[in-house]
Amino acid sequence: MQAKWAIITGATAGIGWATAEELAHAGYSLILIGRRADRLKELRDTLIRKVAHQTREQEFKSIAIDITKKSELDDFIQSEGPTINKVSVLVNNAGLAKGTDKFQDAKVSDWDQMLDTNVKGLIFLTRGVLPYMIKRKAGHIVNIGSVAGRWVYPGGAVYCASKFAVRALSEGMRMDLAGTGIRVTNIEPGMVNTEFSLVRFGDSEKASQVYSGMTPLGAKDIAETILWCLQRPQHVNIQELVIYPTDQAAIGQVVRRP
């Protein structure tokens, strides 16, 4: 049986890496996208080693590009057209938060990075891939949003705005793609222990304190959820899922133990 193909952005760590492992074990061939070429190679080698026994039909391509640069995305779409033509799943996972300063004190450069990655990168890559899916009359777009796309908190205005945008884009895509056979899912996690906090704070000690005294979600928890959504029958579209760890009742309400 010919392998199914999926594209995963932000594949070099966290949810992206875990999703690559889950989909590989489920039989998918993968195009792995990220900025760190060394990490992509490590992931590709890991997948080959772990699933080599399953089937010779599976392939794993690692492509180091920065999705904030539209020119690199355009080159990717053009050069990988024959492979993208086989893709049935796009997981828009790449995203980040930068800083926790109040709006009036925040760095504009942080805003640019968040909006370019979380919103514009998602838009441009999805726009490039969709014509191939529409032609095949099948596909599944999975956007990794956040509970911050529903509930705002102090010091997170622009990050929250970027994830509100992901939610709006997911709903708008679903409407515009009605009748094409393409499904759209928005996954909205709460606290997940990945590189997220390290990137946000730029300090490993501060990042570790975020999860102190509580049990957060793991990247694998989200990856397994993504695979579950993909495996629903074609007539079933999981529109959106909010996923909190049990120790987090809401943004800003976390149970912590000594």
Q: ∠ CA 132-134-137 to the nearest 5 degrees?
A: 115
Helix (H, G, I), strand (E, B) or coil at 86: coil
pLDDT > 60? residue 1? no
pLDDT, one tens digit per residue, over 67-82 is: 999 999 999 999 999 9
User: Tens digits of per-residue pLDDT, 160-173?
Assistant: 999 999 999 999 99
DSSP state of 192: B
pLDDT value of residue 198: 80
Q: How far is CA 258 from CA 89, 137, 255, in A?
A: 42, 53, 10
Residues marked active site are found at 159
Q: Could you tell me the two tokens for 213?
A: 């005294």
Q: What letter represents residue 6's amino acid?
A: A
Percent of the chain with pLDDT over 70: 97
Q: Which of 236, 122, 235, 144 is nearest to 192 (CA)?
A: 144
pLDDT greater than 50 at residue 28: yes
Average pLDDT over residues 17-45: 95
pLDDT tens digits along 232-242: 999 999 999 99
Say yes or no to pLDDT of 123 above 60.
yes
> In this structure, what token pair is assigned to residue 63?
């492509």
Strands 60-64 and 28-34: parallel
H/E segment holding residue 8: strand 4-8
User: Homologous superfamily of 4-246 in CATH?
Assistant: NAD(P)-binding Rossmann-like Domain (3.40.50.720)
With residue 140 as reference, give the H or E element that holds it: strand 139-144
Token pair for residue 181? 């056979």
> Which of 98-112, 136-150, 191-205, 243-257 is the least confident region?
191-205
Q: With a cut of 50, say whether residue 200 has pLDDT above it.
A: yes
